[in-house]
């Protein structure tokens, strides 16, 4: 009999948010240099910075199709994430990594992420996590950043996990609640809470809250 699944995100849990937060700033900086247009950098400081990606990519690669531009944009973004993780090993949350490693005796640890598989392999290698996860479900190269699509694909393959531990993406928790999946917001970096979602602010709280959920499923 296969062990039950504990599913989780990558950013904000095993790795700090910082590599992703810094990557989009670097992405827009490089785009501004390519276009010789400093105004492109204005997107980097917006909370909805992702909305500027299509506009900028059309200017840089006008002859590519929408799908090709999406692939290109994501590849260059994840290059920046990898560079950051290699340069700053403290981006790893080692205490959390060690805790989840101990759970592997009884559970399969699944990673559900909107990183693409090729990018994810590079990120995990940069963070020395290549063989850490038992199951990985990632975005397809031509998909945009949509966690619900990745969740749907995961559940079709493996069924519902016992619990999902996520970062600050509300769409992930909305999906879990719709599907009746227990969830915890790993709010390790003290961000704003998400209404209706239980938060864990440190490793001790995460252990306590996850233990309660897993005990109920026995």
Write the pLDDT tens digit of every residue in 46-67. Answer: 878 878 888 999 999 999 998 8
- Mean pLDDT, range 135-146, rounded to an integer: 84
Predicted confidence at residue 32, as pLDDT, reads: 93
Please give the residue that has the higher pLDDT: either 192 or 14: 14
Instruction: Give the residue from 115, 169, 111 showing the smallest Cα distance to 144.
Output: 115
- Mean pLDDT, range 127-139, rounded to an integer: 94
Predicted confidence at residue 106, as pLDDT, reads: 94
How far apart, in whole angstroms, are the C-alpha atoms of residue 176 and residue 172? 6
Q: Where does the pLDDT of residue 218 fall: very low under 50, low under 70, confident under 90, or very high at 90 and above?
A: low
Burial track 25-37 (b if 16+ CB lie within 10 A, e otherwise): ebbbeebbeeeee
Q: Where does the pLDDT of residue 217 fall: very low under 50, low under 70, confident under 90, or very high at 90 and above?
A: low
- Mean pLDDT, range 103-112, rounded to an integer: 96
Predicted confidence at residue 175, as pLDDT, reads: 92
- Mean pLDDT, range 207-214, rounded to an integer: 94
User: How do residues 19-36 score in pLDDT, each as one tens digit?
Assistant: 988 888 888 988 999 999
pLDDT at 194 over 70: yes
Predicted confidence at residue 118, as pLDDT, reads: 85
- Mean pLDDT, range 94-119, rounded to an integer: 93
Whether 187 and 193 have beta carbons less than 8 Å apart is answered as: yes
pLDDT at 1 over 80: no
- Mean pLDDT, range 73-88, rounded to an integer: 85
Beta-ladder partners of 92: 15
Chain-centroid distance, C-alpha 111? 9
Q: What percent of the chain has pLDDT over 70?
A: 99
């Amino acid at each position: 009999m296969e062990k039950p699944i504990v599913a989780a995100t990558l950013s904000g849990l095993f790795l700090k948010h910082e590599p992703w937060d810094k990557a989009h700033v670097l992405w827009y900086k490089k785009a501004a240099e390519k276009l010789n247009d400093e105004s492109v950098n204005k997107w980097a400081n917006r909370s909805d910075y992702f909305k500027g990606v299509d506009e900028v990519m059309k200017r840089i690669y006008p002859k590519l199709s929408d799908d090709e531009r999406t692939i290109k944009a994501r590849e260059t973004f994840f290059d920046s994430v990898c560079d950051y993780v290699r340069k700053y090993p403290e981006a790893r949350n080692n205490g959390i990594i060690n805790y989840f490693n101990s759970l592997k005796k009884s559970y399969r640890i699944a990673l559900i992420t909107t990183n693409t598989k090729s990018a994810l392999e590079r990120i995990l290698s940069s963070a020395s996590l290549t063989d850490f996860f038992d199951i990985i479900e990632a975005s397809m190269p031509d998909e945009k950043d949509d966690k619900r699509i990745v969740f749907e694909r995961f559940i079709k393959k493996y069924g519902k996990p016992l619990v999902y531990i996520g970062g600050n993406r509300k769409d992930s928790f909305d999906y879990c609640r719709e599907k009746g999946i227990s969830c915890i917001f790993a709010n390790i970096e003290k961000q704003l809470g998400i209404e209706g979602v239980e938060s864990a602010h440190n490793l001790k709280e995460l252990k306590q809250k996850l233990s309660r959920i897993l005990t109920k499923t026995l």
